[in-house]
């Protein structure tokens, strides 16, 4: 018996990397899994169904149940199709793990419009489409008196908080994903559906590029901090009945670390006795910034751990 026996999950981008690890973990816990993957390269180019098929085979070989879906998460109909496939195959749908995506990193002054559009589309619209269709399914079920077991899990990145200078497209998409997910958490609370966001770190096709690859290298011996499998237990837990009261939260997860984030606090608050003038702003707000370094002592917080 597993924590997710009888539950039906959809994991997007589950052909490799983190998505594959999540799909295997959910299946190990007893969930039946729609393995969605378009099979694209780390920059979003190409298309290949073999990775998604291999994960389905792996789940089945371990005694689980899975079905492949080769649609594009940012396509409205494909995205609805993966949830419809879950319902058609197993009669229900319960868990959405939105994970699919790719990167096209460039500094803001070099980024092309197409790099911005493609990355915003796959991550932000990809999450929106999945959460939109999942939410409609849960709401309809709740309205017609059905028992709703719903979990929405979104994949953001610490770039959403720390604003990587080489990822204006990606960091913006990931920040938007937190907003969409937390909005869904509020919209669906009355149906008992939870929605949470996690920010992983792992060695995958996405991070094995350029200088980043060194950071994620597998150690010659000892604990492999950046194995994608280290992220999936949090996903399994948040998807489980035990996490029914956790919603609208943001986590950072990798290796042996799990951090629960909180929203930025006000660093200072000023109120003028009269309407503000440039002079009074300079005196009060300006005073607060005296001696502080631009960017360094700013909203851009350094990565934790
Ligand atoms: N690896 C990290 O350290 C890290 C850090 C922060 C966030 N993330 C996020 O984790 C998620 C998974 O990334 P990963 O590191 O496993 O990368 P990955 O490149 O190994 O896997 C991404 C998968 O998504 C699939 N995909 C891409 N576009 C798709 C589309 N339109 N429709 C369906 N499938 C599509 C790819 O085919 C691929 O299998 C991403 O959202 C990524 O932004 C990863």
- Answer yes or no: is the C-beta of 153 below 6 A from any ligand 1 atom: no
State yes or no: pLDDT of 81 exceeds 90.
Answer: yes
Give the closest residue to 97 by CA, choosing from 29, 145, 165.
29
Distance between Cα 283 and ligand 1 center (Å): 48
pLDDT in tens, 31-62: 999 999 999 998 999 999 999 999 999 999 99
- Ligand 1: residue of 10, 14, 19 to mutate (most ligand atoms within 8 A of CB) is 19
Residue nearest to ligand 1 atom 7, measured at CA: 157
- Answer yes or no: is the C-beta of 176 below 6 A from any ligand 1 atom: no
* From 157, 232, 240, 247, the catalytic residue: 157
Q: Is 263 known to be catalytic?
A: no
State yes or no: pLDDT of 303 exceeds 80.
Answer: no
More confident residue, 264 or 77: 77
Burial of 127 (0-12, 13-18, 19+ CB in 10 A): buried
Q: Is 237 known to be catalytic?
A: no
- Answer yes or no: is the C-beta of 231 below 6 A from any ligand 1 atom: no
More confident residue, 288 or 146: 288
Q: Is 157 known to be catalytic?
A: yes
In angstroms, rounded to a whole number, what is the distance separating the alpha carbons of residues 231 and 98? 14
State yes or no: pLDDT of 9 exceeds 80.
Answer: yes
pLDDT in tens, 207-253: 988 777 888 999 999 999 999 999 999 999 999 999 999 999 999 99
Q: For the chain, what percent of residues have pLDDT higher than 70?
A: 99
- Answer yes or no: is the C-beta of 118 below 6 A from any ligand 1 atom: no
Give the closest residue to 196 by CA, choosing from 111, 261, 281, 133.
261
Give the pTM. 0.97
Distance between Cα 133 and ligand 1 center (Å): 20
The pLDDT assigned to 102 comes to 96
Mean pLDDT in the chain? 95
11, β-bridge pairs? 35, 97
The pLDDT assigned to 97 comes to 99
Residues 6+ apart with CB under 8 A from 147: 141
Domain at 8-260, CATH homologous superfamily: NAD(P)-binding Rossmann-like Domain (3.40.50.720)
* From 174, 232, 240, 247, the catalytic residue: 174
198, β-bridge pairs? 155, 251
The pLDDT assigned to 162 comes to 83
pLDDT in tens, 150-201: 999 999 999 998 878 899 999 999 999 999 999 999 999 999 999 999 999 9
């Amino acid at each position: 018996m597993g924590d997710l026996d009888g539950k039906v999950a959809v994991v997007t981008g589950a052909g490799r990397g983190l998505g594959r690890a999540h799909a295997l973990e959910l299946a190990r816990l007893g969930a039946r899994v729609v393995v969605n993957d378009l099979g694209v390269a780390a920059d979003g180019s190409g298309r290949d169904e073999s990775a998604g098929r291999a994960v389905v085979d792996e789940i089945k070989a371990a005694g689980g149940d899975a079905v492949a879906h080769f649609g594009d998460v940012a396509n409205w109909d494909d995205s609805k199709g993966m949830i419809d496939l879950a319902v058609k195959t197993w009669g229900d749908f319960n868990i959405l793990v939105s994970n699919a995506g790719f990167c096209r990193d460039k500094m803001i002054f070099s980024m092309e419009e197409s790099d911005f559009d493609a990355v915003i589309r796959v991550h932000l619209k990809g999450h929106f489409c999945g959460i939109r269709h999942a939410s409609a399914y849960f709401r309809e079920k709740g309205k017609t008196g059905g028992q709703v077991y719903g979990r929405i899990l979104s994949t953001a990145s610490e770039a959403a908080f720390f604003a990587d200078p080489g990822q204006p497209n990606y960091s913006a998409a990931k920040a938007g994903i937190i907003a969409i997910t937390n909005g869904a958490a509020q919209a669906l609370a009355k149906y008992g559906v939870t929605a949470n966001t996690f920010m992983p770190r792992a060695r995958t096709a996405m991070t094995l590029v350029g200088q980043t690859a060194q950071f994620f290298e597998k150690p010659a011996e000892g604990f492999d901090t950046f194995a994608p499998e280290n992220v999936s237990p949090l996903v399994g837990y948040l998807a489980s009945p035990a996490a029914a009261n956790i919603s609208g939260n943001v986590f950072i997860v990798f290796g042996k670390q799990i951090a629960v984030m909180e929203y930025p606090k006000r660093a200072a608050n000023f109120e003028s006795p009269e309407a503000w003038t440039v002079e009074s702003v300079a005196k009060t707000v300006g005073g607060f910034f005296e001696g502080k370094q631009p960017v360094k002592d700013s909203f851009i917080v350094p990565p934790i751990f």
